[in-house]
Structure 1
Amino acid sequence: MSSSQLFITGLITGLGLIAAIGAQNAFVLRQGIRREYTALVVFICAASDAVLITLGYFSIKYLQDIVPKIVPWMTWAGAFYLIYIGIQSLLSLKNDNALKVSHPDTPNVERWKVRSIAITALALTWLNPHVYLDTVILLGSIAHRYDNGYVFSIGAFSGSVIWFSSLGFAAFKLAPALSSPRAWKTIDVLVALTMFVVAGSLIASIF
């Protein structure tokens, strides 16, 4: 796989893992709509992903030196986890989920101070147990299936930057669409297809 293909694979995989209804995405969208330290929130979320993805890449590399077979094992586990995510995305189609946020006419800078906003963004990222499974273990193990796996990790990080930047800085335009269950059903289908394709490529790479 060429570097450009590997970068795109990482980008799509990163986007697929991040693009899900959750407290972190709702918080980023809300801050964007309220115009309250949006750049700070986007930076914290994207920078946190960068640290976690980097940690995953180097920690898996370290473990691989100690236990050479750990990458194939984790590749199988990662493939099944991606399939699980895809199935969960398809199952969520029967629910009318959407992001619910408020739409104030003017920015509210008194209610949410910069410190509390920063702490909230950090907590929603680092206290979420799934983030470690997704970024450290899953993305780290996938990256080491390839000789230039760091390109995959860069792609995954780029997906994080694109997602959070779009969600935060384009909040006013995105809010109506993301408040619609139909939009999230479309996202769920795309996420499911992405997860199945990546899982298939992982399994194929083992043989």
Structure 2
Amino acid sequence: MIGAALTGFATAFSLILAIGAQNAFVLRQGLTRSHVFALCLLCAASDAVLIVAGVLGFGAITEKYPQLPQMMAWGGAAFLIVYGTMRLWAAYKGAYAMQIAGKSAGLWATLGTAAALTWLNPHVYLDTLGLIGAISVQFTTASLKMAFAIGAVTSSFVFFFGLGYGARLLAPVMQSARAWQVLDVLIALVMWVLAFKLIS
């Protein structure tokens, strides 16, 4: 049981660790200290739903509907391009008084953006429904599969809450408009690179 749980934890953590659109957004919100709990909960809960679905074997959906990943890729890429452009525009304007004061968009706007970055990203489905689902096949009993899933879900909660609340350690560095401009330019580049990878 413990071995299965640790395998699930390590597998999910290694997949989430790569800097992506979702992680960059959580980091940015963590720096403003705005809606951090709700945001981290949304991201981790979304991962939990997908991880459980993957372990239960719903990865077969993409085999039944082979055109689905491509449709999701184009939708996700379009969103990433738009969001990256918004971050670059924000960097160009350089108006960061709200961010420096620790304020951001409203709760529902924040959660809406996070939901889009999560559910419109085909890689999330490949990682959870595909890879995690495939790795879970080695555990043949229901109890071992459950332990694996619990470990994977736990790693998601640890990662997102660690990133969201750990970001405040960088807060002293982010007390100037220039620092926020650099961060937004980097986030824009990450979004565009991810969008290019999705459609290439």
Confirm or deny a common fold (TM above 0.5).
yes
2:57 counterpart SS class: helix
Measured in 1, the distance between the counterparts of 2:20 and 2:116 equals 13
- Once residues 155 and 30 of structure 1 are traced to their aligned partners in structure 2, the CA distance between those partners, rounded to angstroms, is 27
Give secondary structure in 1 for the equivalent of 2:14.
Answer: helix
Alignment partner of 1:137 is 2:126: no
Alignment of 1:107-186 (within 5 A): 107-109=102-104, 112-147=105-140, 148-173=144-169
C-alpha distance in structure 1 between counterparts of 2:30 and 2:154, whole Å: 20
Distance in 2, Cα, partners of 1:12 & 1:55? 18
Are 1:11 and 1:155, in contact at CA under 8 Å, matched by a contact in 2? Answer: yes
Rounded Cα–Cα distance in structure 1 between residues aligned with 2:172 and 2:123: 28
Whether the 8 Å contact between 1:14 and 1:156 is mirrored in structure 2 is: yes
Q: Residue 17 of structure 2: which of 16, 19, 38 is its match?
A: 19
Match of 2:67 in 1: none
Equivalent pair of 2:59/2:129 in contact (CA under 8 Å): no
Say whether residues 1:106 and 2:101 are aligned partners: yes
Q: In the TM superposition, what is the alpha-carbon distance from 1:61 to its structure 2 partner?
A: 9.1
Distance 1:57 1:115 in 2: 30
- Cα distance in 1 for residues equivalent to 2:146 and 2:59: 11
Distance in structure 1 (CA, Å) of the matches to 2:172 and 2:5: 31
Cα displacement (A) at 1:145: 1.1
Counterparts of 2:121 and 2:58 in 1: how far apart (Å)? 20
Paired residue secondary structure (2:100): coil
Residues 146-197 of structure 1: per-residue CA shift (max 9 Å, x gap): 12122111111111111001000111125799xxxxxxxxxxxxxxxxxxxx
Equivalent position of 1:10 in the other structure: 8
Whether contact under 8 Å (2:30, 2:36) holds in the other structure is yes
Do the aligned partners of residues 118 and 61 (structure 1) sit closer, same or farther apart at CA in structure 2, a change above 3 Å counting?
closer
Q: Give the TM-score of the pair, scaled to structure 1.
A: 0.60
**How far is 1:116 from its partner?**
0.8
Any gaps of 5 or more consecutive residues in structure 1? Answer: 64-101, 178-207
Measured at CA, do residues 115 and 169 of structure 1 come closer, stay the same or move farther in structure 2, by a change above 3 Å? same
1-structure distance, mates of 2:145, 2:103: 43
Root-mean-square deviation (Å): 2.4
CA contact (8 A) 2:32 2:102 kept: yes
Residue of structure 1 equivalent to 2:35: 37
